[in-house]
Amino acid sequence: MTPRWPRVLFWSAVTFCVVMASLPQQPGLPVEHGDKVLHIAAFATLAVLAVLAFPSARIGTIFVGLACLGGLIEVVQSLPMINRDASLADWLADIVTAGAVLIIAEPIRRRYGPGQSRNIGMPKNRRH
């Protein structure tokens, strides 16, 4: 059985991302391309939390869910009442980041995921 805390963290992070993306005033970072940095940080975090929260879910399913979330955020930002700009580049940053993290996470999850030993580095035939 999967512990409950990863799902709570994942859904809390999703809620936080949607709320922050829906604010009329964009939170900014004092760096060039700060908006892209925020997108990359958000979707890297969401991808890691999704893998932890849904250990038996297929990576492709997680990827599609995160891609849809990124698209939804851009649709919300395009609403006139939000007074933000939707950006295909932001959505692509979300997708590329989520995809990269999931590509890295899949072999790790396969090796150390549910039903696998947590004995890192110990050969399978020597586990008890």
List, for residues 22-81, the tens digit of each pLDDT value: 888 776 666 666 778 889 999 999 999 999 999 889 999 999 999 999 999 999 999 988
Q: How many residues does the chain have?
A: 128
What percent of the chain clears pLDDT 70, i.e. is strictly above it? 80
pLDDT of residue 117: 43
Higher pLDDT, 34 or 96: 96
CA distances from 40 to 33, 34, 91, 115 (A): 11, 10, 10, 31
Predicted structure pTM score:
0.81
pLDDT of residue 26: 72
For residue 92, the 8-state DSSP code is H
Kindly give, in sequence order, each residue whose CB lies less than 8 Å from that of residue 21, ignoring residues fewer than 6 positions away. 73, 76, 77, 84
* Per-residue pLDDT tens digits for 18-34: 999 888 877 666 666 67
Task: Name the amino acid, one letter, at 107.
Answer: P
Q: What is the C-alpha separation between 111 and 99, in angstroms, rounded?
A: 19
Query: Tokens in use for 49?
Result: 């939390």
pLDDT of residue 61: 97
* Per-residue pLDDT tens digits for 107-128: 888 887 665 544 445 455 555 4
Helix 59-77 vs helix 34-53: angle between axes, to the nearest 10 degrees?
140
How many angstroms from the chain centroid is the CA of residue 56? 16
